[in-house]
Amino acid sequence: MAANVPLLQFSPHSLQTRLHINPTKSHPFSLSSSTPFSKLNGAGGSCRGCAVIRCCSYNSNESGRGPKSVEDGVKSVEKLLEEKRQAELSTRIASGEFTVQKSGFPSVLKNSLLKMGVPKEILEFLFEKIGAGEDCPKIPKAKGSVSAMRSDAFFIPLYELYLTYGGIFRLTLGPKSFVIVSDPSIAKRILKDNSKAYSKGILAEILDFVMGKGLIPADGEIWRIRRRTIVPALHQKYVAAMIGLFGQAADRLCRKLDQAASDGEDVEMESLFSRLTLDIIGKAVFNYDFDSLKVDTGIVEAVYTVLREAEDRSVAPIPVWEIPIWKDISPRQKKVKAALKLVNDMLDDLIAICKRMVDEEELQFHEEYMNEQDPSILHFLLASGDDVSSKQLRDDLMTLLIAGHETSAAVLTWTFYLLSKEPSAMAKLQNEVDAILGDRFPTLADMKKLKYTTRVINESMRLYPQPPVLIRRSLENDMLGKYPIKRGEDIFISVWNLHHCPKHWEEADRFNPERWPLDGPNPNETNQDFSYLPFGGGPRKCVGDMFATFENIVAVSMLVRRFNFQIALGAPPVEMTTGATIHTTQGLKMTVTRRTRPPIVPTLEMPTVRSNSSLNISETNTAPDEKSEVYPSLS
Q: At 143, phi and psi to the nearest 5?
A: -115, 140
What's the chain's length in residues?
635
Q: Is the peptide bond before 467 cis (omega within 30 degrees of 0)?
A: yes
Q: How far is CA 616 from CA 291, 609, 619, in A?
A: 75, 12, 10
Please tell me the distance from the alpha carbon of residue 163 to that of residue 90, in angstroms, as a whole number. Answer: 8
At CA 392, angle to CA 386 and CA 394, rounded to 5?
100
Contacts 24+ apart (CB under 8 A), 509-513: 509/463, 511/418, 511/421, 511/422, 511/425, 511/459, 511/460, 511/463, 512/459, 513/425, 513/452, 513/455, 513/456, 513/458, 513/459
Query: 457-480 burial string, b = 16+ CB within 10 Å, else e?
Result: bbbbbbbbbbbbbbbbbbbeebeb
Q: At 283, phi and psi to the nearest 5?
A: -70, -40
Nearest CA among 63, 79, 48 for reference residue 18 = 63
Residue 78 burial by Cβ neighbours in a 10 Å radius (0-12, 13-18, 19+)? middle
| Known binding-site residue numbers for heme | 542
Alpha-carbon torsion, ordered 425, 427, 431, 434, to 10 deg: 110
Tell me the β-bridge partners of 577. Answer: 583
Q: Are 109 and 116 spatial neighbours (Cβ–Cβ below 8 Å)?
A: no
| Known binding-site residue numbers | 542
Residue type for 200, please?
K
Question: CB-based contacts of 514: which residues, under 8 Å, 6+ apart?
Answer: 452, 455
CA 284 to chain centre: 21
Residue 540 burial by Cβ neighbours in a 10 Å radius (0-12, 13-18, 19+)? buried
Nearest CA among 306, 307, 315, 316 for reference residue 337 = 306
Please tell me the distance from the alpha carbon of residue 224 to that of residue 459, in angstroms, as a whole number. Answer: 31
Q: What is the DSSP string of 22-67?
A: EEP---SEEE-TTS-GGGGGTTT---TT-EEEE-------GGG--H
Cβ atoms within 10 A of the Cβ of 128, count? Answer: 11
Which strand (E) or helix (H) includes residue 591? strand 589-594
